[in-house]
Structure formats: C-alpha cells, structure tokens
Structure 1
Amino acid sequence: MTFTVAIIGRPNVGKSTLFNRLVGKKLALVDDQPGVTRDRREGEARLGDLTFTAIDTAGLEDADGASLAGRMRQQTEAAIQDADAIIFVIDARAGVTPIDRHFAGLVRRAGKPVVLLANKAESRAVGLQTYEAFGLGLGDPVPISAEHGEGLSDFYDALLQALPEHTALPEEPFEDEERDGDEEGDDVVRPLRIAIVGRPNAGKSTLINRLLGEERLLVGPEAGITRDSIGINWEWRGRPVKLFDTAGMRKRAKVEDKLEKLSIADGLRAVRFAEVVVLLLDATIPFEKQDLAILGLVEKEGRALVIAVNKWDLVAGEPGKFKQMVADAERLMSNVKGALVVPVSALTGEGLDKMLEACFKASEIWSKRVSTAQLNKWLTRILEHHPPPAVSGRRIKIRYMTQVKARPPHFALFGNQMDGLPDSYVRYLINGLREAFDLPGTPIRMSLRTPENPYDKK
C-alpha cells in the first residue's frame, strides 16, 4: 500500500538533500545558504522495498502570515495535512534549537505518525546533541546522513514502526486474480508535459494555481519567488497533464546570484523534458527582448509552443489590441511562425481552457508525420515553380525529401552540392512545408545531405 510523507524542519537542516536521496535524483535545488526551497515538491521515493510519495517543504520559520516566510510556512502546513506521516528533521551538529522546539509542538498537534531524524550525523561527536532530541517529545531520534546515505536502514525500520498498516506486505493474490490483473492497465495514457516559462512576475505560479483550483504554489507581489521547477500531475477534461512551474528568467547579464543561476538551469531542464512550452507574456509589456530570448531557447530545444498573454483583463478595453498582438507575434517569431496566441488572465481564469486546447493542438502538430510520397509530390511542384539558385555556375539538384522523425518534425533533403544551398532557400522550403502540411507554431528541422560519390578519388 502506498503512502505519503512530508519532510519538514527549520531551514538548512538537509530536507532537500534527504528528498533527493529518497527519490534517487537531484530534483530539488540544494545549496549551503538557508531557505533555498520555497514551494513544496512531490516525488516518488524508494527506501528498501518501500515505495511512497515524499514531499519536500520549505524551512519552517516563525514569521508573520502575510510575509514571504509566513506564506512558505502555510505551504508546509498544507503538506502536513496531505501526508500520512511526518518526517521531522533536525541538524545533529547544531543540536535542538528553540525553533525546533517551537515547531515540534505544531507536529504533535497534527496528530500524525512522526519519524524524528537527526541529520548530518556523520561524526561520532554529535551523539550528545542527538540525545537532546528526546526532549522534543517526538519519539527516538534516528541519526542519519542524507548526504552520505548513512543510517537509512534505521530510518527504514522507523518508517515500518510508524506506519505498520501502510508498510505491511500485500497478500499474495490467487492465480485467477493475478491473471485478471495482468490483462488490465496495458493502455496507460502518458500525461502531456507542459512547462510554463517567462520573465519574473509574469504570473506563472498564479496561472497554475488557478488551473488547479487551489493555492498549490507560492505566489506574491515579490518578483522571483519560484526557485525550483515544480512538476504537478493534474487532469483536464479527462486527459492527464503534468504542469511544470519554472523560475522567472532574467537577462543573463543581470543574473549574478549562484542560486538564481541554479533556478534558471532547473527551468531549462524542465523545458528540455516538456512536450509543450507555454511562453507567458505580460500583456502590459509584451514582447520584451527577454521574451524573445526565452523564445529562442524554446525553439532551440525543439518544443511545441503556445503564446499565452497574461493580465489580459488590464488591457482588454483597448481596441485592436489582440489583433496587433498577433501581428507582432508573426513578425517577431518567424522561426515558429503561426504559433497560437491566447489571451488569458490568471487572476480571473479567463482564457485558460482555450490555452489548454491550444496546448493539445500544438502537441498534435509537433508529433505529426508526413509520408514520403506526399513530400516528394510537393517538392516537385516547388522545384518547378522556384528552383534553387546555381552555385559557382553549377545548378544544385535536389533529388528527394523524407521525414526523418517527429517531435519536432525533422526533414532530410537529398541532392548534390547541398552544402552550397543558401539559408534563404532552406527557409523558403521550411515556410512552404509549414503552409502545405499545416505545421504552424512548431520548430521545423531541415538536414541537407549529399550522397557520397563512389567514383570520387579518396
């Protein structure tokens, strides 16, 4: 039986390091400075033969509820409510602090099973500080080292003791039941992976919260709140979706902080693993230079693209605004010509269904395949109407074309002297493909190949 645990504790006790150790991947950002984690992150964890969901949370701080630290604590409290058990982590080197004692009371009031971990216990000299943890009233402390993987067997035993019903081995099924179970679940529908990217304070987290119908992600007036790229499983109209919230991407020259560099790198990783990327613009200042730089990154990675113009409620009264926005997109985004532009408002929820419809449509286009027969029939007409120019007095002969792969559409063009084919003609062919085979708004790759001449002297 699966279960969920929330990893909580004050800042910089090693919660994210433990989370990464349990999920077997470096999903959460880790740094020496405290307060790196802000949003809660879920991942599929394994410990011995146990498989469960682990929730990484922000460090607990005693702060006003309206402040950023206070809102982070509310996210942690929500994780506690969702969890079946609580993993309370302290720093074995520092010993028990007044903040640990304060929030141990919060954990006791939750009324859920607790496993108390004394992290950073690599050295034998931390034994005395570990014994201080008995005074928290949360049971026996388990000394571990999340960074070095020490003490995990004791942690495993503590989980078994804390959740005996959830960790009990399932009964062996009868042969008939086992056979029936094998026949089901073969057609598993993979979720559509959608990454939301944009400049800081464009409203990415607010938009995802509106889609989910809950305050799942930390939001506020401060720019740059989001640090980790958080993946959230969701369902829209019966179709599975995985949404990725990413950190706001500023101009490279302005990024000096090490942690911001890590956040942006994490966001780029989310783009790399997404299928559709929603570039979120601010309707009051759209198509800034940084928006176009982010667009270039998305196009380079070859992801399907949807342009969502947020805060539309602030400019909806301006006549001809949307028409002008579409025209600007066509002019400025020639490499992904025809990308769908959707006006939305994360605050009111306006246009969000249309945005998701556009995402699924963009995914279909991104995955589209065109038969070789159709391609060469089209190529023959193109070459008759507009043949390639001559290079050094010799005519370039394009012989045939085929689609190498999809996601994104990638075509190969075969002929002689293909290395001399001008970029302008390649763009002409790509635009023709986009129009002829209905491939708007998706990056198109084109490879030029010249077959080897068997009579060429080597």
Structure 2
Amino acid sequence: MAQRKLPKVVIIGRPNVGKSTLFNRLVGKRLALVDDQPGVTRDRRMGEAGLRGLEFEAVDTAGWENEDDASLPGRMRAQTQVSLKDADAALFVYDSRAGLTPLDEEIAQWLREQQVPVVLIANKAEGNAGQSGILEGYALGLGDPVPISAEHGEGVADIYNALSPHIADRQPTTANLADPTEEEAEHDETRPLQLAIVGRPNAGKSTLINRLLGEDRMLTGPEAGITRDSIAIDWRWTHPGDGDERTIKLIDTAGMRKRAKVTDKLEKLSVADGLRAVDYAEVVVLLLDATRGLEVQDLKIANAVIEEGRALMIAINKWDVAENASALFNGVRMALDEGLAQLKGVPLFAVSAMTGKGLDPMLAAAFDLRAAWSRRVPTAALNRWFDDALAANPPPAPGGKRIKLRYITQVGTRPPRFVVFGTRLSDLPKSYERYLLNGIRRELGFGAVPVRLNLKSPKNPYQS
C-alpha cells in the first residue's frame, strides 16, 4: 500500500492574524481550535490540504511573539522556527486591516534569510477595509500579497496561483486515497497504530511524546495546560523483541480537568477536541501522575474511553520520582479493578517520560491490545464456546418459563461486537449477560478490551 508523501506548506504569522482559520479552510475541517483571543495555537498541527487539485500537507503554527527564549511565547516561537526546516513553502499571514506591525517586519526579515519560498497572505481583506494594508505588504520584499478572507473563504483559491510554482512538481505519484474498510483494517497489521495519550493537566503527556520521538516536538514546561489542540504525529518505532519497525500515529491531547473546574471557553474547546481525538484512536493511553496517584477524574476519563469502545491502557508516569513505588502500583491496580468494574484487568505500566523507563513494553503491549481489539473469532469456535457456556451455566427460567438462547454471531470488530439471538430475552438477567461477556473476553482471546453484546429476539412474536 503506497504511502502518501505530500509537499509541506507551513503557515506562519504573529498571533491572531487568522492562521488557524486559514488552516481549517485549507484542510476542509475544523481541526485547529479558533478563538478571538491571541495565542490559541501552541503546538504545530498538520492536515492534508487541497487547492484546485493541488495537494499538500498544511502545518498550522503558534503565533510568533518577540519574547524571551525561555518564556512560553519564546518556546512557541522556537517550535515555529523548527517547523520550517523541512518545508517546501511557507504562507506568511498578516492582518491587512491592522496593517503591518514591527513584529510582521521582524518575521519577514527572518523569512528572507531562509531557503524556503514564501507566499505573502493579506488576510481579513473582505470589503475595502484592508486595502491600505494590502498595499503595505509590498514593502516586505516577499512578492505580491494575496488578499483573502480566510473566515469567509474569499480569495483562498487565489493562493493556488502563488503556491503552485513551488510545489506542483512535488505532488504524490501514488496514493491510497480511500480509508481502509473495517475488514481490511482488522487484517492489516502494517497500518499505523492510532495511539492517543490522554490524562489530567501536567501528567507529562507532551514530555512522553517528546521522549518517544527523541526530539522536542511538543511544547512542554511547568505551566499547566500548555497543550490545547490534539496533535497527531507519524512516527516509526523499532520493536525490541523482533527488531521490526512499526508505524505509530501518536496523538497528544489537552489535559482534562474536572468538568466543574473547566469554565474558560477555550479550555472547554480543548477538552472537547481531546475527546474527539479518542474517537479516532485505536488504543488510548491514560497517563497518571505518580506524585498524585489515581484520582476520580482519571476514572472518569477511563470510563469515557471504554464507553467509546477504544482499547485502554494505563501508564503511571514520573516513576523515577515515585515514593513507595510498589505500594503505589498495587494500590492503583486495586483501585482500577474496583473503579472499572465493567472491564477488569486493564493493562497497567510504570513509566518515566524523563528517563524512558517502561516505554518499549508499553508500546509492544499497545500493538497486542489493538490485535485483540481487531480480532474476529471463527464461527465454529464461537459456536463451540457458546454451547459450552450454556451447558456449564444454563439461562434461568423466571416464573418457570425457559429463556432460550439459540445462537451467537460476531457482527463487527474494533471494538468486537456480538449478537445473541433467542426468545424472552427481556427477562434475561444482567448478571447472565455479564457471564457471557466475561466468558467472551476470557476464553476467546479478547482480554481487557471493551466488548459489545446485544440481544435480539425473532420478529415473529409467536416463535418460541
């Protein structure tokens, strides 16, 4: 299956000029968070974009600010500068209504020193309000400004003419344009593992991803809530057992606090964005802070992942500074089994994002977990198990009337889904449903992945 290799186009500019709005417009989705306040975007976000058949990977970056390198804005600027290293072109966005600022001129000077073609974008140019700002753009020495309104979509198609000369010859020659079907996905073990990292603020999610990548790809620091967008990064990992390379799409998410504490509109958007990232994941790592242990909020996040049908694993981070480590691990294990009664035995790992401890075993287990999550049981084996389960523990007969369970079938995977057909199923106790579910997980190779079981009676009400 051919891998898509798209030219990379980085969107650069000072805060609040509309970079994320343009990014969303180019990729055709609301992937990046957008708000009126400046500085919403902090990490690089990537997405496949298109303009009149011209395909490229668009990269949204943090707003460029003239602050000390050690400060949060300074570290954000460094992330933006790094993003240009392997870019094929850059879109430099400025606010035509506000006109040029000294910061715009500073960015333009830096861009002129780089070896990357630049397309100058005069945003917010709807109507005549931005006319003077458009003319000012010529003074930057970066060619003719392209007037657009990213919010309303005006002029965006004109970017094609300015961008095409720089990337038209780098279009992918082969591409897999269609998403794999469920049947293809469950059998294709070479496809990237969609692995999302979730947890409370300051659990070390971005630090963990940086350790895995071996570079400061994600913005980190002592400030809580640095990550706002869910950021997906493609990465190749070498399995320590067999030495084979595996592809992983790492998804970093914003920290999820208790709902009652989330009052800021932007934080609400960030948390919602993180929950959407769970929807797209296959395996989700819930990262705990060893200095704080397991809290009620962690259990709520775990339950949300399970309810969404995603394979879940728990990692206790900051193990290098954990006190009473053995007691902590056993205590978390017991609390998980009690707090996640519907899915006992969720894999639990002790890791350190700072030292790298435990990360390879965690990743190896994530691939095993995905394999179980994608497993389809042969029909003969499923029916043998079902017959044995009914013989070992027959369904009850409330009021002296037998509940007949006729057969079972697997209707889907990712997560595994089963349907039991029979009569008088409305009288079947929940405890018996749990008996069947536990048997499926324990005896059919699903382990600690969420399994769905539905009951279905025949349409004929007189059939018994």
> Does the pair score TM above 0.5?
yes
Please tell me whether residue 23 in structure 1 is matched to residue 17 in structure 2. Answer: no
CA-to-aligned-CA distance 1:261-297 (integer Å, 9 cap, x gap):
1111111111101111111111222221001100111
Aligned to 2:75: 71
- Cα distance in 1, alignment partners of residues 26 and 123 from structure 2: 14
TM-superposed deviation, 1:82: 2.5
Give yes or no for contact 1:229–1:266 (8 Å, CA) kept in 2: yes
Measured against aligned partners, the alpha-carbon deviations of 1:50-76 in whole angstroms (never above 9, x if no partner) come to 212221101111111111111111101
Q: Normalised by the size of structure 1, how large is the TM-score?
A: 0.91
Q: Which moved more, 1:190-199 or 1:333-342?
A: 333-342
| 2:104 maps to 1:100 | yes
Residue aligning to 1:223: 224
Closer, same or farther in 2 for the Cα pair 1:321/1:290, shift >3 Å?
closer
Conservation of the 8 A alpha-carbon contact between 2:293 and 2:328: no
- Aligned pairs for 1:428-447 (under 5 A) are 428-447=435-454
Q: How far is the alpha carbon of 1:5 from its aligned partner?
A: 1.8
Aligned equivalents of 1:144 and 1:452: distance in 2? Answer: 59
Contact kept in structure 2, 1:18 and 1:147, CA below 8 Å: yes
Sequence identity percentage: 59
What's the secondary structure of 1:307's corresponding residue? strand
| Alpha-carbon distance in structure 2 between the residues aligned to 1:265 and 1:85 | 32
Q: Which runs of 5+ in 2 are unaligned?
A: 175-187, 239-244
Tell me what 1:367 maps to.
374
Alpha-carbon offset, residue 226 of structure 1:
0.6
Deviations 1:418-439 (A, max 9, x none): 0121112211221122111232
Residue correspondence of structure 1 range 263-302 to structure 2 within 5 A: 263-302=270-309
Other-structure match for 1:181: none
Specify the code of the residue in structure 2 equivalent to 1:37.
T
- What pairs with 1:217-366 in structure 2 (closer than 5 Å)? 217-237=218-238, 238-315=245-322, 318-366=325-373
SS across alignment from 2:46: strand
Query: Alpha carbons of 1:205 and 1:52: their partners in 2 closer, same or farther (altered >3 Å)?
Result: same
Instruction: Give, in whole Å, the separation in 2 of the partners of 1:287 and 1:304.
Output: 19
Q: CA deviation at 1:96?
A: 0.7
Which residues in structure 2 correspond to 1:172-187 (within 5 Å)? none
Query: Which 10-residue stretch deviates more, 378-387 or 110-119?
Result: 378-387
State how far apart, in whole Å, the 2-side matches of 1:298 and 1:408 are: 12
Deviation at 1:169, TM superposition (A): 8.3
Q: Is the 8 A contact 1:336 1:440 kept in 2?
A: no
Aligned 1:77-156 pairs, distance under 5 A: 77-156=81-160
The alignment of Structure 1 onto Structure 2 pairs a total of residues equal to 440
Deviation at 1:318, TM superposition (A): 3.4
Structure 1 residues 338 and 319: alpha-carbon distance in aligned structure 2, compared to 1, 3 A threshold: closer
Q: Which residue number corresponds to residue 58 of structure 1?
A: 62
- Per the TM alignment, residue 122 of structure 1 is displaced from its structure 2 partner at its CA by 0.7
Structure 1 residue 317: Cα displacement: 5.7
The amino acid across from 2:206 in the alignment is S
Residue type of the alignment partner of 2:281 = A
1:299/1:335 contact within 8 Å kept: no
Q: What TM-score comes out, normalization by structure 2 length?
A: 0.90
Residue 84 of structure 1: how far off its partner (Å) = 2.3
Give the residue type in structure 1 aligned to 2:119: V
- Structure 2 residue matching 1:360: 3-state secondary structure: helix
Q: Write the distance in 2 (CA, Å) between the matches of 1:304 and 1:160.
A: 42
Deviation at 1:329, TM superposition (A): 2.7
Structure 1: distance between partners of 2:44 and 2:100:
24
Decide which moves more: 83-92 or 313-322.
313-322
- Per-residue displacement from partner, 1:9-43 (whole Å, max 9, x unpaired)? 11111101111111122111111111111101122
Provide closer, same or farther for how the CA distance between residues 305 and 9 of structure 1 changes in structure 2, counting only shifts above 3 A: same
Is the 2:79–2:219 contact (alpha carbons within 8 Å) kept by the matching residues of 1?
yes
2:378 & 2:190 partners in 1: Cα distance? 26
Code of the residue aligned with 2:340 in structure 1: it is: M
Which deviates more from structure 2 when the two are superposed, residues 381-390 or residues 8-17? 381-390
